[in-house]
Structures are given as structure tokens and as C-alpha cells.
Structure 1
Amino acid sequence: MGKHEFATSGADLQLVGIEKRFPGFTAIEHLDLTIPAGSFFALLGPSGCGKTTTLRLVAGLEEPSAGTVLIGGADVTSLKPYKRPVNTVFQSYALFPHMTILENVAFGLKQRGISDSLGKAKAGLELVELAHMAERKPAQLSGGQQQRVALARAVVNRPELLLLDEPLGALDLKLRRQMQHELKAIQQEVGLTFLHVTHDQEEAMTMADTVAVMNKGRIEQMGAPEQLYELPETVFVANFLGQSNLFTVSVTGENENVLHAKLGQSSISLLKSRSQRSSGSITVGVRPEKLRLHDNAPEPQAGVNVLGPGIITDVSFIGVSTQYTVSSESFGEVQVFAQNVAAGPAASLGQEVHVSWLADHTFGLLDDPTSTGQVEQGASTMMLSQLAKQK
């Protein structure tokens, strides 16, 4: 199918001063957000953070307590859902079981009196590569195929904005990953603005141009996936988007570009440009895959941070990498992810090791350790990370 069939410039979405209060709690505190036309935008966060409420406000399924919703510059805050240039794809597919796939896709077009609705529906099925199944019923399709039908049904209506509410949540892992790539390809093909709500960090990072990490009714940080991963600004973002080793350190000095700090008896350096705070007690972090294991203490080297000695207290072989836990009274526990470039693990349980990483890979977070209760041990923050993922 050629791009001209469904091509549209999409529309930008603006949320201005949005608040949503329910009896007894506030779902959204104060939200200002602009999503550029034609972009794939992901709203990422744990259960209860306000992301689904935000999507429902855009769809018109909820009314804001305060604020304005603008689509393509037009104020739609008071418009009914069916009057908004929006379509939503839900996790549940919501296909009509008694209709064929083709009839399902054409349903919305027929309801609106669009000419050649069946022809447009066939083009929609071609877009999701299911034209050969046009006469089948939904029950004859797999979960992934049903999701593609639901997507085709939404796209043929040519909405300016397509809302995706955990659309891949019901699929198994392999199919979910396949659909992530297909969704991204379709978005690029049709040029619509996609707003994707998910709690799955990999899903958000795989598909979105821009990710907004939401927590307790507000956006903690927003940017390109690689920016959020490499340079998180808060403890929540560092732990929700991937895993992090976090430490509380005391800043001891600085030069033009670098901060120097103490962690127990060890010295830690980081670039000023990679830290949200530059004095006193601060929380710093490094991703587990940035760390290297050493049998002996490495020679001191400018721009390299070293911790040790520590004991390997856990080894988990997961195929592409081996995950080590290194424990020490001086720095708690750190996680090290080592890529498996040789046969078998590079280190063994109970072995004494040192760990090192480049100062360039260290990040300094906004959180004040004294006011947030941030602990010094990397282990405790890793536990917080796991809890966040289970929610």
C-alpha cells in the first residue's frame, strides 16, 4: 500500500495546565505537554502514575478539573469523544466477533457515510499485511493479527491523533517485540501523531521518538530514549528506565569540568555537565553494563572510577550477558552486566574483584539524599527498581 492512501500531517497535541482530581486523590497535578505533529510519543510510568488518565482526557473520556486540551491548535476540551479527530487502540482489541475482518475495519467508515468504505478497509488491511485474511472472523486470528486489525480499523478513519492504550500488553514476549517494530513502521508510513501509553520501558524505548516518564501525576523527565537512559535526572527515572547503581557521595572539590567526590575511602569523579547538583551530599549513578570487573586493583588512571575490593555474591547467566552482584562493606552492592564474549562466565562466585568505570559514564541526580531518604547502598536502590517493575 502506498503512503498516499492514509498519509496525513497528523496534528500536534497540547495539554495546558491540565489537572484531574477525583474524590480523595489527585490523578494529575499540573501537566503542560506539547507533542509535535507526526511524532511517536510514549507516556511511560508505573500503575497509578496518571498516564492512562491523561490519555482518557485527550480522548474525551474524562473531563479535566482544570486546563485545556488542544489538537492541531483547536480547543477540544469540551468536545464529545466522537467529535474529536482522535482514535484509540485498546489492549482488548474490541473487534466484533460476528463480522469478518474486512467488515470490522470498514465499520467506522460506514457509520460516517464514507464512500467506498470497503475499498478503504481493504487498503487498511494491506497496510497491516492482512488483506489475505479479509473474510475470516476475529476468532480465526492470533492475538497479534487481531491487534493489527484493530490498528487498521483506527488508521483508516484518518485521525489526526492515534492513541494507543497498552496496545501490546496481552501479547507474548516474542510477538510483542515483533509488533513493536511493525507499529513503528506503520507510524512512519502513515505520518500520524501517535500517543502511546505504556508501563513497559523496552516498548517505549523501542518505538518512541520522545518518551515522557510520569510519576505521581507529573512528568519527571522527557526526551529521546537514549537521552533518558544515558542521563537520567532523578532516582525514579534512573531506576524505572533500566537499572542503575546509585550511591550517596560527598563533593570534595572541582575543576573547570569535573566534580570530585568521596564514597567511603574511594574517590569518584563525574563531569559537571552530567550532574544536576554540584555541592554537598549528592546521589550519583552508573549503569551496570558500564562497569568492568578486575581480578586485581587497576592502576589509578585519570577519568576512571574504581571501587574495591568486593566479593562476587551472585552470578546470573542470561545468555547475551552475565549479571554479577559485587558486595562490600564500603560501598554496599553493585550490579555488573558483562557481555559474554568468551565461553562461560569471566568471574566466579566468591571471587574477590574490583570494579571500574569511566567518569564520563557517571551521572549526578537531582534528588537530595537527606530529604528523599536516599540510601547509600546500591543494593537498596536496585530493590526499589525491581519493585517499580512489578507494579
Structure 2
Amino acid sequence: MTTTAPAHPGAASASAGAALELAAVTKRFGAFVAVDDLTLTVPSGSFFALLGPSGCGKTTTLRMVAGLEQPTDGTISIDGRDVTGTRAHRRPVNTVFQSYALFPHLTVAENVAFGLRRRREADVEARVAEGLALVELGHLADRRPALLSGGQQQRVALARALVNRPALLLLDEPLGALDLKLRRQMQLELKRIQTEVGLTFVHVTHDQEEAMTMADTVAVMNRGRIEQMGPPADLYEHPRTTFVANFLGRSNLVPGTVVERLDGDLLGVDVGGARVRVPASRAVRDTGDVLVGARPEKVRLLADGEEPAPDENVVGPGTVTDVSFTGVSTQYEVRVPGLGVFGVFAQNLSGRAGAALGDQVRLAWAVDFTFGLDGRDDAAEGLADLDVEP
């Protein structure tokens, strides 16, 4: 049978794709359970992100997929083949680490060619040229890593992994060592490369923006389990747990009690004496105690004398306790008696001054943007703990 050489590294394996499947995978270190009965399927050719705080089990999961750790229980399959007991170097995967791990005494081209030459692969020069062209570094082939920027070094590490044509590319916090501006540029670059080569990327990160910018599917991990999984926009707009609501961006969460069922499939919820409406389709439960949620950018300040629209929920009045100008928006903290502090992100569209510190304001947001979580959950779950050492 005649085959055509791939137009770029990774294209050969990308044609069929390489789905990753974890079935009831558990990893224990003594009495500590790092990964707890984890089952998931990563679609072929997708950009998949494992997102969570330090210690949630995401890196341990990646190491088990790479073969650097063995699961205590469960199975790992790549492209339908069980690789649970397969050694790391025999798995069709490559890993890109935060540290880059480039050889300082080799040129860029020699770094990219290292794995190919070690396995005595054919067409090494051509494949290296393809890999460097993909990451737009062909003009730096003869330089040493020390003469490259952090972003360029990361792209060399990526090219070195891609020229091996793995079925699965694992990315372990690959942008963590870059500064903010360069990290954002590399987010777009990684997504471009993944789309172009069509490989399955599995990306581990604690950075919410990074995961949401690049991934087709995000799995939010907490304490060794997946709290919620889906497209980034769906997770953000429809969180199902307080951890997801707080870890992905910020949420205003206030306790309430469902007191009635209204027309239009709405729940009437009492929050501190005020009545708000929650779409039943956006509520985890429709009876008893709930946490009513709204994202800060969905909430607006009602000017003195301004009336809310008929399709808006209203709470307050409250007192503006903080005003922070961030350029594109102004962020307000508003303390509402009996309900706590609400965050409000107002876009700076008019150029006019908004509310001032100490002002009395009411808050309004569309009913359709309201969600309801289980009132038995901890409303602070997923918030950053300032007392935890980094």
C-alpha cells in the first residue's frame, strides 16, 4: 500500500485521531488518594484541558497517561488500546513540560532532531524543517537555546514533541514560566498549532483563562475528581457546583429558599426578604435551600430613581465599599445588608464617572442570567485561600 508523506508533523496520526480513555482510574500514595475513581473520554483531535488548583490530581493524572506513574486501580487506553501496563517510552505520547528541558549545548535544530536521531528515523532534516516551520522558528535553527526568549524556547520544545508524530500530546503547565503578555500570545499560538496538526492535546493547568482560551473541552478537577466537564462557555454560564462557580471566574452567591413555582418554568426564591426568579433549567435543585448566583459582569448598578426592567432581579439598596478602575471596566464591591458583598463589573463605555465610594445603590441583573446551586454546598468552595502557601 502506498502512503503519502504528511504535510506537517502529526498529520499521519491525526488522520485517525487518538482518543484517550480513563476508566475508573484511582491513584493512591499511601493513605492519600490523589485521583479518585476517574472516568473520562477525550475526543479524538480535540484540545482538552484538565483544570484545577494545586493538589487536585491533574498532574498525577497526566503522569499516569504518560506512563510516569502507574494507577492503583483502573485502566488507561489510547486509540482503543489498553496501555495501563505499558512503559512510558513505548506509549504513543509526548510531553511538553513547563521547564522546556532543552539541551543547552545543542542548536535548535539539533534539539528538535534529538528523538528522531535516537530512534534512527528517516528524513530527519525534512521533519525538523517541518516542525520548525510549524512553530515559525525556521530562521533560528542554528541558534543555541540560551539565545532564545522564553516563548521561543517553549516553541522549540513543542516542535521537538510534534516531530515524533505522537498520537497524543501532553502539556504540563507549559506556559507557567512565561510573563503575562507572552503567555497570552502563546495561548493563541498553541491553539493555532493544535488546529493545524489536528492532534489530540491534553493540557494540564491551574490557569482558568488559559484553559478557557484554548480548550474545546475543560474538565474542572477538585480533590481527585471531576466536578464538571464541558465546553468553556457552558461551564462558565452554567456552573453546577459552588467550586466551579467560584474557580472559573467569580460569582455572586447568596443563600435563599425556593418558595414557589412560577409561570415560564421559573422558581421564586426568597433571599433575605427579597424575591428573585431563577430559571428551573439553570438550577441544580428546585426545592428547599439554594444558592442564587449571578456573574459580576451580568450585574448592573441602578442609578438613583432608575427602575429595573420587568425581566430583571433586584436586590438592595447596598453601599459601595470599593471602586477599582481597570481600564476596560470598573469593578465595584457593594455590601447589601443581610446578603453580603456583591461584585459588579461595569464596562467603561460612556467615559462618565459611575458610582462613588459610599453611594447607596440597588443591583439588577437579568433573570435569564441567574443560576441556582445546592444550598447545602459551601458558598466559599473554590475561592482562593490567601493563607495557603504557594
Which band: TM-score by shorter chain?
over 0.9
How far apart are the structure 1 equivalents of 2:61 and 2:378? 29
- Greater shift, 46-55 or 24-33, is seen at 24-33
Q: Which residue of 2 aligns with 1:198?
A: 205
SS at match of 1:341: coil
Contact preservation (8 Å) 2:169, 2:201: yes
The Cα of 1:300 is off from its aligned counterpart by 5.9
Is 1:207 the counterpart of 2:214? The answer is: yes
Is 1:4 the counterpart of 2:7? The answer is: yes
How far apart are the structure 2 equivalents of 1:343 and 1:323? 15
Contact preservation (8 Å) 1:240, 1:388: no
1:51-90 to structure 2, matched below 5 A, reads: 51-90=58-97
Is 1:315 the counterpart of 2:323? The answer is: yes
Q: How many residues align?
A: 380
How far apart are the structure 1 equivalents of 2:47 and 2:186? 15
Identity fraction in percent: 59
1:232-270 CA-to-partner distances (Å, cap 9, x unmatched) read 000000000000000110111003510001111211101
Q: Which residue of 2 aligns with 1:385?
A: 383
CA RMSD of aligned residues (A): 1.7
The Cα of 1:327 is off from its aligned counterpart by 0.8
1:201-240 to structure 2, matched below 5 A, reads: 201-240=208-247
Give the unaligned 5+ runs of structure 2. Answer: none
Is 1:268 the counterpart of 2:276? The answer is: yes
How far apart are the structure 1 equivalents of 2:129 and 2:274? 65
SS at match of 2:131: helix
Is 1:285 the counterpart of 2:293? The answer is: yes
Is 1:302 the counterpart of 2:305? The answer is: no
- Greater shift, 7-16 or 156-165, is seen at 7-16
SS at match of 1:78: coil
How far apart are the structure 2 equivalents of 1:343 and 1:322? 11
Give the unaligned 5+ runs of structure 1. Answer: 375-380
Select 2:250's aligned residue among 243, 246, 257. Answer: 243
Contact preservation (8 Å) 1:297, 1:354: no
Distance 1:3 1:385, change over 3 A: farther
How far apart are the structure 2 equivalents of 1:258 and 1:293? 24
Is 1:37 the counterpart of 2:44? The answer is: yes
Q: Which residue of 2 aligns with 1:377?
A: none
The Cα of 1:388 is off from its aligned counterpart by 8.0
How far apart are the structure 1 equivalents of 2:131 and 2:65? 24
How far apart are the structure 1 equivalents of 2:232 and 2:217? 6
How far apart are the structure 2 equivalents of 1:81 and 1:388? 37
Q: Which residue of 1 aligns with 2:262?
A: 255
The Cα of 1:294 is off from its aligned counterpart by 1.1
Contact preservation (8 Å) 1:201, 1:242: yes
The Cα of 1:329 is off from its aligned counterpart by 1.5
The Cα of 1:331 is off from its aligned counterpart by 1.7
1:98-113 to structure 2, matched below 5 A, reads: 98-113=105-120
Q: TM-score, normalised by structure 2?
A: 0.94
Q: TM-score, normalised by structure 1?
A: 0.94
Q: Which letter does structure 2 place at the counterpart of 1:4?
A: A
Q: Which residue of 2 aligns with 1:378?
A: none
Q: Which residue of 2 aligns with 1:124?
A: 131
Contact preservation (8 Å) 1:295, 1:352: no
Q: Which runs of 4+ in 1 moved over 6 A?
A: none
The Cα of 1:361 is off from its aligned counterpart by 0.3
